[in-house]
Structure 1
Amino acid sequence: MNRQQIRFLRRTCTSVQIRLSEESPLRGTFERGDEISLLTDGSIFPHVAQQHEWNFNETRFIGQVCDAASYHLIDVGANVGLYTRQVLLNYQNVHSASCFEPSPDNVEHLARNIGGMPTATVHNFGLGTTDGELTFFTDDVNGGNFSFNENAVAGRNHHVIKAPIRKISEQLLDDCMGDEARKRRLIWKSDTQGLDEVLMSELPLGFWQRVDLAVFEGWRIPKPEFDAQAFAAVLKAFDFVYIMGSRNKRLQRTDAEQCMHYLSGTDRRWADVFLSRRELS
């Protein structure tokens, strides 16, 4: 799909189904596995329409780290399911996934995109420090910039809705996995636009001992208060801590203290943070 076609679809449609190329890591053999369902935003849609993947290269660390017999993926802020779908299709030892997404629009596409994968479940609520409904902010252009954190949309055109939220706990995550999946080792992925530290610090260290690889977005924007000591303990629970810049995509080894310092900034730069039990390359 060329740029002119993308611009036309963004003007005329709110959502699309894209037929995937034979080589796409998003393409599955299940019913409707040859297409992907997307909102026509200005960030995710143009990339997938042209590349037929979503940051697939960054999933390579699963192959380096996760060699146990069976894994379960926890995807917090699953959006429309591109990360989960790519992982389940391309890493055969990742057998199941729990996807958490509070946006009604995203959930509709998420359910379509992983509907042919019976070991992936959709949970149409966000995770936080309370139960109920909270104000949820949706960026008008960037479909990946939806958050309970108002600072994520500061200075940007956006909409405001109410969205369901559940208090995060190890028990809740286990209940959402089901009996079989909770026996597996875990992969954690979260992308909540500045709330990852809050969520991760709420979970006990015993939970993190079950996780072999964790990746989250480290965005330098103002965030709600969280237990900094508990979050630092999560970072220190892993043997290796890495930061990958958003521009040069270079993986840089760091440590808990340096990572905490980076995340404390407010200049709106961001990077992906990887926590691993093995050295990455």
Structure 2
Amino acid sequence: MNNDQIQMLRTKCASVQLLLSESSPLNGSFEGGSEVSLRTDGSIFPHVAKHEEWNFGETRFIQQACVEGEYHLIDVGANVGLYSRQALINYPNIKSASCFEPSPDNVEHLKRNLKAIPAASVFDFALGTSDGELTFYIDEINGGNFSFNENAVTGRKHHVIKAPVRRITEKLLDECMGQLATDRRLIWKSDTQGLDEVLMSELPLRFWQRVDLAVFEGWRIPKPTFDTNAFRAVLDSFDHIYLIRNRGKGLEPIDASSCIEYLSATDRKWGDIYMSRRELH
């Protein structure tokens, strides 16, 4: 799809069912697998319409880190499900996934994109530090920039809704994963626009000992306070920590102190953080 066609769809439609080529890593061998459901935003939609993938090159780290046995993926801030869908389609040892997403608009597309994958479960609430409802900020241009952190939409056109939240605990995650994750190692992926450190520090180290690969977006914006010592312990529980400052530019090995220092800045730069039990390249 060329740029003119992308812009025309963005102008005319609020959402679209995009037909995928056979070579697309989002194209699955299941009913409806040749289509993906998207909101026609100004960020995710143009990329998928043009490239028919969603940062697929970086999912190679799954293959490097998770080489033995069966895995269950925990996708926190699943958006419309592109990460989980690509992972489940392309990496046979990922047998199941639990996807958490509080935005009603995103959940509609998330369910469509995963409906033919029985091992994928969708939960229409966010994970946080308490149960209830919180103000949820929705960027009106960038469909990937939805957050409970108001700083995520500073200076950007946005609107707000109330969205459901459940307190993150190992018990809750186990209940949501159910029998799907029995005897399976875990992969953690979170993208919550500046709240990942908060969530990760809430979980005990015994949970993280079950995880072979964890990836989250480290966005340098003001964030709520969290237990820095607990977060450091999570980082230290992995053998390798890496930073990707620019997608496609390679991995930069870092230690826990460097990671925390990087994440503490507020210049709105970002990088993906990978934590692995195996060396990545």
TM more than 0.5: yes
Query: 1:172 maps to what in 2?
Result: 172
Which residue identity is paired with 1:19? L
Alignment length, in residue pairs? 281
| SS of alignment partner, residue 260 of structure 1 | helix
- Amino-acid identity (%): 69
Contact 2:26/2:82, CA 8 A, preserved across alignment: yes
Contact 2:119/2:180, CA 8 A, preserved across alignment: no
CA distance in 1: counterparts of 2:61 and 2:247, whole angstroms? 19
Query: 1:111 maps to what in 2?
Result: 111
Alpha-carbon shift at residue 65 of structure 1 (Å): 1.1
Alpha-carbon shift at residue 86 of structure 1 (Å): 0.3
Contact 1:68/1:185, CA 8 A, preserved across alignment: no
Which residue identity is paired with 1:271? G
Which residue identity is paired with 1:107? V
TM-score of the aligned structures, taking structure 1 as reference length: 0.99
Q: Deviations for 1:180-237, whole angstroms, at most 9, x for unmatched residues?
A: 4132100000000000000000000000000000000000000001000000000000
| SS of alignment partner, residue 192 of structure 1 | coil
| SS of alignment partner, residue 249 of structure 2 | coil
Residue 186 in structure 1 maps to residue 183 in structure 2: no
CA distance in 1: counterparts of 2:136 and 2:257, whole angstroms? 31
Residue 38 in structure 1 maps to residue 38 in structure 2: yes
Alpha-carbon shift at residue 248 of structure 1 (Å): 5.5
TM-score of the aligned structures, taking structure 2 as reference length: 0.99
CA distance in 2: counterparts of 1:30 and 1:21, whole angstroms? 14
Alignment of structure 1 residues 160-239 onto 2, 5 Å: 160-239=160-239
Which residue identity is paired with 1:154? T
Alpha-carbon shift at residue 69 of structure 1 (Å): 1.3
Contact 1:174/1:182, CA 8 A, preserved across alignment: no
RMSD of aligned C-alpha atoms?
A: 0.8
Q: Deviations for 1:103-153, whole angstroms, at most 9, x for unmatched residues?
A: 000000000000000000000000000101100000010000000000000
Q: Deviations for 1:39-72, whole angstroms, at most 9, x for unmatched residues?
A: 0000000000010000001100111110221000
Query: 2:132 maps to what in 1?
Result: 132
Residue 87 in structure 1 maps to residue 67 in structure 2: no
Query: 1:55 maps to what in 2?
Result: 55
CA distance in 2: counterparts of 1:201 and 1:253, whole angstroms? 21
Contact 2:96/2:180, CA 8 A, preserved across alignment: no
Contact 2:72/2:180, CA 8 A, preserved across alignment: no
Query: 2:28 maps to what in 1?
Result: 28
Q: Give unmatched runs, 5+ long, in structure 2.
A: none
